[in-house]
Amino acid sequence: MKQIHSFPTLDRSPLTTAAVYAQDYRDRKSNLHPTATLSELRESFGGDLPARGQPGTEIIDELIAAAEPGLVGNTQPGFHAWVMGGSHPVGVAADWLTSIWGQNAALYQGSPAAATAEEVACGWLLDILDLPRTASVGITTGATMAGFIGLAAARDEMLRRDGHDFAETGLQYAPPVTVFVSEETHASNLAALRYLGFGSRNIVEVPADDQGRMNVDALSRLMAAPQGPKIVIATAGHINTGAFDDLNALADLAEEYGAWLHVDAAFGLWARASVSTRAMTEGIERADSWSTDGHKWLQIPFDAGFAIVRHEHAHRRAMDITASYLPNEPRDGRNATSYNPELSRRGRGFAVWATMKAFGRDGISDMVRNHCDCASLLAHKLQHVRGIAILNDVVLNQLVLSFDRGRGKTDADRLTRAMEDALNADGRHFFRTAQWRGRCVLRVSIISQDTGPLHMQELAHKIIELWHEIGG
Ligand SMILES: *Cc1c(COP(=O)(O)O)cnc(C)c1O
């Protein structure tokens, strides 16, 4: 048996301090809402940078004391404001080790272990999502960067098919590429397009229906006008409603016009992991690229996302960084830098590998089903309450609520905001409102690993009780 050496010269106490605190923090489920004000936080973190370094344990104690009042309990079951996951403890532990090992996961030769964990986890991902097993995957910081990568590959490939080499023409000498997006596309896709050099003149906004789904007839009409190379961005899992575009219809149109189909499926792609929701994703497998998150439904600690591209050559043409000092021998495994915009990067594959293993296939599928069942249960409890309007078809894990006693939009918007405040007041829930289709809505996302039916019973009861006080 190999001896595991200990290194007595290494000061282990900051690590131990963090580990002991970590278990306690997770066990006691601290505040959902920050308790410190901005000026208090500036005060606790502030002061001049000391001339001399301090002992590590002291710094960690100080960091905990300064940070905790400014933390948000987004990993907890009562957090419904945005689509965020629960930072699975096994993923967190793997993430700690990632830092302990301090690997630079750019190249296989820089960390064969990180490269191989990543390679295996990417295979599992394609398998559980049932996407083409030959697709290439980049592990990113999130769905925004995953979208950026998919769209970079799209731009390169669409120009190549039109007879232009992007590496040579750049944007300045290439013909315009037209991108078709829903008027309700997630803001991060517009940001990704901006990073890639697309302006509003390249972007055609397609009307959406009352669930946020792209209008297929309108898309068909708009695509028929003569334009050069085309990209279509579909949505699987609308940020408010959870709705899916008609993916088969979009894939048909993309095929007809020789366009690249990218699907923003930041959390919706996971519907494919459960038989109860898989049908909504039909047609998604026909796309050219997909962006999805690891830190949302898969509960991987921040940050993790996946850029999945059907055409590996296009993916690599858009992303690869090569130089003679960055080796990749034929006998080597995966060079992550071929699929990401970064060179030096964190070994994100360890946390992905560990979290997927912690759930297993069935665990992922059960979790998705549980969250969707939770959303249905909450809808069921609220649907007949006078004045509570559920504005979306509850098809996934999202509810869009408005509180309206029939005295006009201004009154309803004010009441919805009052409900937001009231729901947040006892610190047991975290909600936010948004503007959607011209009105104020309360968004309910059910996506944290620990959220279950009992939380929904309690939440429904609280919503109804508060509504009777506020709207009655
Ligand atoms: C969250 C989300 C994004 C952006 O993902 P990040 O991980 O925050 O970068 C994009 N699209 C949709 C539909 C999302 O829900």
- Same-domain pairing of 154 and 236: yes
pLDDT in tens, 183-221: 999 999 999 999 999 999 999 999 999 999 999 999 999
Task: Count the alpha carbons within 13 Å of 108 in the hemisphere toward its beta carbon.
Answer: 12
**Residue 11 pLDDT greater than 70, yes or no:** no
State the residue for tokens 């009992």: 454
Residue pair 72/434 in contact (Cβ under 8 Å)? The answer is no
- Same-domain pairing of 345 and 402: no
- Same-domain pairing of 445 and 326: no
Whether 267 is in the pocket of ligand 1, judged by its Cβ within 6 Å, is: yes
Domain that includes residue 28, residue range: 1-71
pLDDT score recorded for residue 1: 45
Residue 77, domain member (yes or no):
no
- Give the Å distance between the CA of 234 and the centre of ligand 1: 13
Whether 143 is in the pocket of ligand 1, judged by its Cβ within 6 Å, is: yes
Mutation choice for ligand 1 from 264, 290, 397, 400, CB with most ligand atoms inside 8 A: 264
Residue pair 288/154 in contact (Cβ under 8 Å)? The answer is yes
pLDDT score recorded for residue 412: 97
**Residue 292 pLDDT greater than 90, yes or no:** yes
pLDDT in tens, 142-181: 999 999 999 999 999 999 999 999 999 999 999 999 999 9
Task: Give the CA distances from residue 53 to residues 42, 45, 59, 63, in Å, rounded to whole numbers and listed in that order.
Answer: 20, 16, 10, 15
pTM (global) more than 0.85: yes
Whether 208 is in the pocket of ligand 1, judged by its Cβ within 6 Å, is: no
pLDDT score recorded for residue 28: 87
- Ligand 1 atom closest to the CA of 237, numbered from 1: 13
**Residue 472 pLDDT greater than 90, yes or no:** no
- Same-domain pairing of 50 and 123: no
pLDDT in tens, 30-89: 789 999 999 999 999 999 999 999 999 999 999 999 999 999 999 999 999 999 999 999
pLDDT score recorded for residue 114: 98
Among 38, 71, 104, the domain boundary falls at 71
Looking at residue 236, which CATH number applies to its domain? Answer: 3.40.640.10
Task: Give the CA distances from residue 204 to residues 29, 245, 303, 322, 435, in Å, rounded to whole numbers and listed in that order.
Answer: 46, 17, 31, 35, 22
pLDDT score recorded for residue 206: 98
Residue 335, domain member (yes or no):
yes
Whether 266 is in the pocket of ligand 1, judged by its Cβ within 6 Å, is: yes
Q: Which residue CA neighbors atom 14 of ligand 1 most closely?
A: 266
Residue 298, domain member (yes or no):
yes
Q: How many residues are listed for the chain in this entry?
A: 472
- Ligand 1 atom closest to the CA of 295, numbered from 1: 7
Whether 431 is in the pocket of ligand 1, judged by its Cβ within 6 Å, is: no
- Ligand 1 atom closest to the CA of 144, numbered from 1: 9
- Give the Å distance between the CA of 450 and the centre of ligand 1: 21
**Residue 9 pLDDT greater than 60, yes or no:** no
Residue 80, domain member (yes or no):
no
Q: Which two tokens stand for residue 46?
A: 């502030």
Q: Which two tokens stand for residue 226?
A: 């003569």
Whether 305 is in the pocket of ligand 1, judged by its Cβ within 6 Å, is: yes
pLDDT score recorded for residue 7: 45
- Ligand 1 atom closest to the CA of 293, numbered from 1: 7
Whether 420 is in the pocket of ligand 1, judged by its Cβ within 6 Å, is: no
Whether 93 is in the pocket of ligand 1, judged by its Cβ within 6 Å, is: no
